A and B are shown apart, each in its own frame.
Chain A
Amino acid sequence: MKYLCLVYLEASKLHAVADGECMACGDGLRKSGMLLAAEPLHPVETATTVRIRNGTLTVTDGPFAETKEQLAGFYLIDARDLNDAIQVAAKIPPAREGSIEVRPVRELQP
């Protein structure tokens, strides 16, 4: 089953974990066959929000929600169950600095 592990960090901690450590984590997961994709993100100030309302496209700066922590990256993993996914999330280095949200991936119903 697929889980998306969303990495949340405060702005001041976006670089608290060295890139090298994150690369090593990704490499380890890839070798174990559990990693489907993982990417870090630029800070939230670079984000653009896109919406279609009444057929009209609106584009705005940043996300609207005012939260202390922002989405800093993600790992898409394949795990046996939630316990297995929690074990993986616990090994993602930014878990020490911010938090990891573990979300089960839903199958689209045709």
Chain B
Amino acid sequence: MAAVEPIHEIVDAVYVAESRRVLATLIRLLGDFDTAEEALHDAFRAALEQWPREGVPKNPRSWLVSAGRFKAIDGLRRQSRFDQLDEAGAAAEIAVAPDAWTDEETVEDDRLRLVFTCCHPALAADAQVALTLREVCGLRTEEIAQAFLAPAPTLAQRIVRAKAKIRDARIPYQVPSREELPQRLDTVLRVIYLVFNEGYTASSGSVVTRHDLSAEAIRLGRLLVDLLPEPEAIGLLALMLLHDSRRAARATPEGDLILLEDQDRSLWNRDQIAEGVRLVRRALASGPGAYAIQAAIAALHAEAPSTAGTDWAEIVGLYDMLLQANPSPVIELNRAVALAMRDGPAAGLALIDAILDRGDLHDYRLAHAARAELCRRLGQIADARTSFERALTLTRQEPERRFLEKRISSLSMAEG
């Protein structure tokens, strides 16, 4: 017989498993984020009081939604603001058995409504990210602030403004219609990928990866694929898993960067790679979207035995597809690097110089670093030095700075 767990441990476990679902449903029932959050906390407080006496309910989720809703309406009534709610609608809902609010399908729809509302294109991009992490993932404002190296009051302000806009401009709590879906899904995917990248290649600061954010993004990606298995959502999840599989090999214990070609491939996470590859196949089966193609490129890297044993011709071909779907100078740069591996550094260098001459990536550190690397391979040491130094002035990340400095000093040794 299982030992009887203390009630607060059960409540904690239910909080971790169910609080985001309960919140998503309460927002729909109460029509307001702040009211719903308060109701959520009241519901869990009530659980701590009542469950020890009455036992844990058969369906804790349903119980919490009912309790939260009751507390909120009671609170509004006491503030004599009940007339602000749609009374007829509220009365109709009270008549329905509470289980009907919390059946599996409705609850999963509510989660999707929450995702699409937090990522509504009428909200500022940084507000979409903050709101999603707070409401969908349940991170505390201080945790989000820490992850983004922003002051907590700034983050709090961003979230308050976003919620005010949802309320005042009446952003509806809805899953977009079929016609709107591709565009709206793009915004959601962009938010998730931004969170992932902030964790994976922190744009500033002293650590290479901030694992929590990447893990959170992968969790969000899984949630989205569960709720809405669109090919690009599957492609994005694959892409994140495949990038993340290299985490343990990307840096030394001291936090110094290790290039792909120098990484110990036995440290790559084979389970993540296998899952990523399966997902890529599934995504590509419904036509190549931009995330699925990038995931396919990552899969080729992940399955290659070495840099030399990588199928660079296939990778260049995938970049060609990607450029057609999604023209961007950064993708052109990546293609140039892959082409240098296929056809030699001179061919890649010519392409990078052409991109830089257009002025497109003038301030992009990785363009200068890639140029420097190819010059070095061609023995053009002075050019390599100039480009490494340019990259060094553009980076804001400590491990990258150390990496570039090491590269520059190894050039001096090459010169003798």
Interface residue ranges, A against B (CB under 8 Å) = 1, 80-84, 86, 102, 104, 106
Contacts and interface: CB of A to CB of B under 8 A. Distances in A.
Nearest to A79: B170
- The 4 A-B residue pairs whose C-beta atoms are closest, nearest first, are A81-B172, A104-B169, A81-B170, A82-B171
15 contacts: A1-B170, A81-B170, A81-B171, A81-B172, A82-B120, A82-B171, A83-B172, A83-B174, A83-B176, A83-B180, A86-B122, A102-B169, A104-B168, A104-B170, A106-B168
A102 B169 CA distance: 9
Contacts of A106: 168
Contacts of B168: 104, 106
Nearest to A106: B168
Nearest to A103: B169
Interface residues on B, range: 10 to 19
B279 to A, nearest CB: 31
A66 B221 CA distance: 44
Interface string B361-391: 0000000000000000000000000000000
A82 B174 contact: no
A86 B169 CA distance: 11
Interface of B: 120, 122, 168-172, 174, 176, 180
Considering residues B120, B168, B170, B174, which has the most beta carbons from chain A within 10 angstroms of its beta carbon? B170
Contacts of B172: 80-84
Contacts of A86: 122
Contacts of A80: 172
Interface of A is mostly: mixed
A48 to B, nearest CB: 30
Contacts of B171: 81-83
A83 B169 CA distance: 10
A51 B169 CA distance: 29
B164 to A, nearest CB: 11
A82 B122 CA distance: 9
A34 to B, nearest CB: 15
Contacts of A102: 169
A1 B167 CA distance: 12
A84 B177 CA distance: 12
A104 B174 CA distance: 19
A85 to B, nearest CB: 8
B33 to A, nearest CB: 15
A109 to B, nearest CB: 13
B124 to A, nearest CB: 15
Contacts of B122: 82, 86
Contacts of A83: 171-172, 174, 176, 180
A86 B170 CA distance: 12
A106 B169 CA distance: 9
B407 to A, nearest CB: 44
Considering residues B122, B169, B171, B180, which has the most beta carbons from chain A within 10 angstroms of its beta carbon? B169
A1 to B, nearest CB: 5
A104 B170 CA distance: 8
Contacts of B180: 83
A45 B39 CA distance: 53
Considering residues A83, A84, A102, A104, which has the most beta carbons from chain B within 10 angstroms of its beta carbon? A83
B219 to A, nearest CB: 27
B100 to A, nearest CB: 24
Contacts of A104: 168-170
Contacts of B174: 83
Contacts of B170: 1, 81-82, 104
B122 to A, nearest CB: 6
Nearest to A84: B172
Nearest to B170: A81
B123 to A, nearest CB: 10
A83 B179 CA distance: 13
Contacts of B120: 82
Nearest to B121: A86
A66 B70 CA distance: 53
A53 B178 CA distance: 53
Given A81-B170, A82-B172, A83-B171, 18 more contacts: A1-B170, A80-B172, A81-B171, A81-B172, A82-B120, A82-B122, A82-B170, A82-B171, A83-B172, A83-B174, A83-B176, A83-B180, A84-B172, A102-B169, A104-B168, A104-B169, A104-B170, A106-B168
